[in-house]
Amino acid sequence: GAVVSQHPSWVICKSGTSVKIECRSLDFQATTMFWYRQFPKQSLMLMATSNEGSKATYEQGVEKDKFLINHASLTLSTLTVTSAHPEDSSFYICSARDIGPGLGYGYTFGSGTRLTVV
Amino acid sequence: QKEVEQDPGPLSVPEGAIVSLNCTYSNSAFQYFMWYRQYSRKGPELLMYTYSSGNKEDGRFTAQVDKSSKYISLFIRDSQPSDSATYLCAMSDPYGGATNKLIFGTGTLLAVQP
């Protein structure tokens, strides 16, 4: 089945630095990937929709200058948290949908990245 | 009113019990319904996917969709301790293709006691 690889699985960084998270579709091409944020014991909050070769579409209230998204190829999207602060500490998850024939409708998720800003 | 409502639990059951998880929704345009299982500190994994109304069974899991009531359910038979996780319902309308967003419920935390 479809596999989405996300790296790193966890990262600790100092306040003020930037962190890049990678999301790769391993066995399918994804023109669109989604980035979510999840706080403890809460559901997934969609941050942005990443489109290959074009600008990302951000959800209301998400700072596009703080959360930079690049979708450079059909298999790779990156999320960069710029000038990170402790309040950016969270669990970030990407997902993609493989729209190949006969594959159903489910979106595949990466394993998530736990970011801690100290 | 949220588009998707889900009882957050937590729900604790003994091993072997039948578990019923439910979500209600308000958007009648939703046609695709999914259940995801999420273990702690992991990404969600797709359990069941249903299009429109009806039932779907896969092993110990059964998904039901009642579009007239805007109500979906996931049943787990013979629950096991390994089923302990957070279960998220998600749904989407049929428009937009691959760029379609999923709308998630808040998730129900399930604990199956051995």
Report CB contact under 8 Å: B45, A109.
yes
A35 or A52, greater pLDDT: A35
Determine contact, residues A107/A37, Cβ cutoff 8 Å.
no
On the question of a cis peptide bond just before residue A8, with omega within 30 degrees of 0, the verdict is yes
Query: In this complex, is the C-beta atom of B61 within 8 Å of any C-beta atom belonging to chain A?
Result: no
- Average pLDDT over all residues of chain A: 90
The terminus-to-terminus CA distance of chain A in angstroms comes to: 37
- For residues B64-84, average pLDDT: 96
Report CB contact under 8 Å: B44, A109.
yes
Determine contact, residues B112/B15, Cβ cutoff 8 Å.
yes
- pLDDT per residue as tens digits for the range B38-72: 998 899 998 998 888 889 999 999 999 999 999 99
- pLDDT per residue as tens digits for the range A88-102: 999 999 998 766 554
- Say which of B43, B46, B98 has its CB closest to residue A32: B98
